[in-house]
Structure 1
């Protein structure tokens, strides 16, 4: 209220009144939004754990299974080859080689008598590569035992044109042509077989004898200038003499490729040592330590406390039961004993922060002295009670069960079942494969028997395979963490709808108040105008 002389006016702060009323309505939305923010922080923390566990499981894939065959990609199936020599020869100069996963380990000795070579012949000297050669004829060209093609030359074609025409048919003939400049104004054409140990074959079919005219052959049709005769590779492996039509040999040792580079002198040998590539196991364990500690760091951050013992502001999962259960499962797996060995035998231990450390010296020692023990300690192992059922793949979640194998009267494998259920496995030829979506998915066997029988399959899980399964299950789209995330997000959606409803209602309420208070202000203003008029009327009467 404001008084001036005999006049009194009324001024009301309608905006403040409206804001106070609307804020009172919005107080509930603010409280709910605070809860949504807290839930979002939990979701983010759960997602961090999911990511860390997913990384942990994927990093253990190469250690969780230990089947050794050409299809295996685990760290235990990788192979390395070491070359050395005796006598006057450099092993790396005479041989290079590659070894596939699952190749048989062992020592071998190799001597190389001669390399395989391709046939290479040369023309007589020609004075130009661009002038017309003046030769016109058709001839057949190829390699002995292979396909041939007809090459047609016209009188206007130059030496380079003839080369181009021959090379246009190389995919059929396996013969390449090239030009060598011997000196200024002197050129020779060279024909080279693209396959070793095969002679170039030639016959003139019509017109000029083109290759004879170019000086490749003599009057009898024999090549005159042979630069390199075709021959097979000759070598001895472990005392067995062999020949091959190539220097790149893939069919001597399964999974091993030899690239012969030069002949070895007499009394010289190349020594080959094929062994497991344990560096792959070491690398995978280093990765495991890194990934496990990343998960542990995330857990430790959620266990942080203030000086008074209360949870730190960032520890939104403090005391969370699901996180604790997952961590306890991982630690139990790490502390398990398999085949009489523990993680300490690998050089693994926990430090003061409960994080993993790896002693590479201890690991290197046990890898060189007890690789089979390390393999069993870390990976999934599957054995069968019958030598006729061999394990092709254990999968990453191997099971123990009795497999009933059925064979028809001709000895052909027709089915495999567990407990009378034939849908758990599929059969293809002599291979038995765990059906997708079942607990046997990823398991595979090869059956060589000719009679029906029941075979016991026994599987064990090492440390790596156990942790792989725990981490994979916990971080999956149907795992315990995702269940919590989905629940929180569903709750947030419901609460957000409540916030939206309260906000919308408050906005409507504000509009109503603005209309209502505007009418009040208009009424007050009208009353003030009437009062002013009456005062003026009274003053006028008094004056008269």
Structure 2
């Protein structure tokens, strides 16, 4: 009897536990809580990524600002590569024109001066402008009606290739002009229709270029029918003869086929627009474009101040102490090094000439400010001082050695031992007695700094025919130093900021991989728990069904 009582007691206890309503259990919530607990391990990595993203954004802002500063410095640093002369503001030239004898310069000529053109003065007198050869046809009542002409003719310019123009009876004056123009590139001739009056139209034929003469051949008589040539083959109505431009430069007579002349004075293009009268001339003075130099100095100061404002924002402190929330690069060693380089560059001076000599100074927050009157005076009285203060200067003890490209790490003074072989080419070169720092280029007259040395980036050109010892002295002015500092920070392949950005990006990639691993494990855990809880639920339901069956069976036995 005791055994039977024990079984009944166990079943009764089980019935009490299993009698809970399975549907009232929040299985999904329970699983989600467990899943969230697993995922919570990712929050630390998310926080690290967010911090790094803020730093990346700040570094990119620094790159943009330093890039602008680098560009502003580039115009003031002076070039050694002639292909970059357009970027050197000190090579900028302006042409100043004045008339003599009552001449109006603007009605005679305009002048364009290339960077680096010689600073000089010239006297110009224009006797004749270049003109294109131009002839007209007879009068026609319509430009669109068929003319009933057929045949062909050849047309071109003297000394050139003629084009054959085929005409049929259905073609109008406008269509003939269009057909001529289809061959203009080869023939050097163009045509147009001139509306003389409401009932009168003429075909106008002219040379594309000035100073040339039309040449025609009218085997089928089409040009004669058009009234362009007479019965002898001569032009019926010559509107304008093709003439060259004739002018004098400092009394020397010059003739050119065009009014755009770029081969008389090196670096100058003359655009002739009118002639001078007897006793009249135009004086051309080619001088440095000081306004562009001034604009470049002001742009440089503005670019530096923009970066300075950003740098100060990264040094802000909170009222409670420590870094401000916006100063995500507070105390950053990379930015601190850049700031020190910029500050050192701005402290550059030579022969007691410094920024203050041209009106530049620092305010209380180390922003650059300039006194316009002092800057104007410096530019007008001695622009060379401004150039030396900002630019790179290369000096060689031999006129046979020049520089084409320059690096940024070579010492301010070094001595080259150049050995020239029997073939007139460089056979050996040393730097302060050491070999391997320069290599001889294929031409045998060039020297290129070896990669990985302080002379990397330098390319020197030697025109001498005998062995020499040459001392090189170089000076890096404010703009040169700041350009190099900005380049060293922002160069996409080796810049200090890009190095940090690469590290941050790699770290974010590692953190993201950790997040993905944790998430994958949590997903697997959730899947397993969902399956496990499904089995538990099924077992509970099964147990409840069994309990219900046993209860029913016991009730039946009790009734019997």
TM over 0.5: yes
Superposed CA deviations along residues 68-90 of structure 1, whole A, max 9, x for unmatched, are: 95751221222222222223222
Match of 2:156 among 133, 139, 142: 142
- Hey, what does 1:455 align to over in structure 2? 470
Change (3 A) 1:137 1:473: closer
Match of 1:88 among 91, 95, 102: 102
Match of 1:270 among 276, 279, 282: 282
8 Å CA contact 2:417–2:470 kept in 1: the answer is yes
> Hey, what's the Cα distance between the residues in 2 that align with 1:102 and 1:44?
41
Change (3 A) 1:222 1:447: farther
> Hey, what's the Cα distance between the residues in 2 that align with 1:216 and 1:32?
87
Q: Give the deviation of 1:62 after TM superposition.
A: 1.7
Superposed CA deviations along residues 496-538 of structure 1, whole A, max 9, x for unmatched, are: 44455555556666777785899599789979x979x99x999
Superposed CA deviations along residues 206-261 of structure 1, whole A, max 9, x for unmatched, are: 454x5455555556554453322332222121232222222111111111110111
Match of 1:109 among 117, 123, 129: 123
For the pair 1:119 / 2:110, whether they are aligned, the reply is no
> Hey, what's the Cα distance between the residues in 2 that align with 1:306 and 1:60?
34
> Hey, what's the Cα distance between the residues in 1 that align with 2:497 and 2:200?
80
Report which stretch shifted further, 16-25 or 304-313. 16-25
- Hey, what does 1:4 align to over in structure 2? none
- Hey, what does 2:480 align to over in structure 1? 465
> Hey, what's the Cα distance between the residues in 2 that align with 1:403 and 1:416?
10
Match of 1:63 among 54, 65, 76: 76
> Hey, what's the Cα distance between the residues in 1 that align with 2:63 and 2:251?
57
> Hey, what's the Cα distance between the residues in 1 that align with 2:508 and 2:197?
86
- Hey, what does 1:484 align to over in structure 2? 500
Q: Where do 1:486-501 residues align within 5 Å?
A: 486-501=502-517
> Hey, what's the Cα distance between the residues in 1 that align with 2:187 and 2:213?
12
> Hey, what's the Cα distance between the residues in 1 that align with 2:273 and 2:445?
40
> Hey, what's the Cα distance between the residues in 1 that align with 2:177 and 2:26?
100
> Hey, what's the Cα distance between the residues in 2 that align with 1:512 and 1:161?
85
8 Å CA contact 1:71–1:101 kept in 2: the answer is no
Any idea what SS the aligned residue of 2:398 has? Answer: coil
Q: Give the deviation of 1:280 after TM superposition.
A: 2.7
8 Å CA contact 2:438–2:455 kept in 1: the answer is no
Change (3 A) 1:286 1:396: farther
- Hey, what does 2:272 align to over in structure 1? 260
Report which stretch shifted further, 329-338 or 145-154. 145-154
Q: Where do 1:303-318 residues align within 5 Å?
A: 303-318=315-330
For the pair 1:53 / 2:69, whether they are aligned, the reply is no
> Hey, what's the Cα distance between the residues in 2 that align with 1:442 and 1:78?
26
Q: Give the deviation of 1:135 after TM superposition.
A: 7.1
Q: Give the deviation of 1:307 after TM superposition.
A: 2.5
Any idea what SS the aligned residue of 1:252 has? Answer: coil
8 Å CA contact 2:437–2:455 kept in 1: the answer is no
8 Å CA contact 2:315–2:330 kept in 1: the answer is yes
> Hey, what's the Cα distance between the residues in 1 that align with 2:108 and 2:516?
79
Question: Which stretches in structure 2 are left out of the alignment for 5+ residues?
Answer: 1-14
Report which stretch shifted further, 456-465 or 280-289. 280-289
Q: Give the deviation of 1:95 after TM superposition.
A: 0.6
Change (3 A) 1:437 1:78: farther
8 Å CA contact 1:55–1:291 kept in 2: the answer is yes
> Hey, what's the Cα distance between the residues in 1 that align with 2:300 and 2:125?
43
> Hey, what's the Cα distance between the residues in 2 that align with 1:219 and 1:17?
111
Match of 2:249 among 237, 247, 265: 237
> Hey, what's the Cα distance between the residues in 1 that align with 2:348 and 2:275?
54
- Number of matched pairs: 533
> Hey, what's the Cα distance between the residues in 2 that align with 1:249 and 1:71?
24
For the pair 1:192 / 2:206, whether they are aligned, the reply is yes
8 Å CA contact 1:416–1:426 kept in 2: the answer is no
Report which stretch shifted further, 148-157 or 366-375. 148-157
> Hey, what's the Cα distance between the residues in 1 that align with 2:554 and 2:220?
138
Q: Give the deviation of 1:425 after TM superposition.
A: 5.3
> Hey, what's the Cα distance between the residues in 2 that align with 1:415 and 1:133?
79
For the pair 1:346 / 2:358, whether they are aligned, the reply is yes
Superposed CA deviations along residues 288-340 of structure 1, whole A, max 9, x for unmatched, are: 23332232222222211122432223323322233222211211111121353
> Hey, what's the Cα distance between the residues in 2 that align with 1:470 and 1:159?
68
Any idea what SS the aligned residue of 1:109 has? Answer: strand
Question: Which stretches in structure 1 are left out of the alignment for 5+ residues?
Answer: 1-6
Superposed CA deviations along residues 465-516 of structure 1, whole A, max 9, x for unmatched, are: 1111111112234333333333344444444444555555566667777858
- Hey, what does 1:327 align to over in structure 2? 339
Change (3 A) 1:218 1:456: same
Change (3 A) 1:354 1:421: same
TM-score, normalised via structure 1 length: 0.80
Change (3 A) 1:436 1:370: farther
8 Å CA contact 1:65–1:394 kept in 2: the answer is no
Report which stretch shifted further, 385-394 or 214-223. 214-223
Change (3 A) 1:243 1:431: farther
> Hey, what's the Cα distance between the residues in 2 that align with 1:122 and 1:17?
99
Match of 1:34 among 43, 47, 62: 47
Change (3 A) 1:54 1:521: same
8 Å CA contact 1:303–1:318 kept in 2: the answer is yes
- Hey, what does 1:43 align to over in structure 2? 56
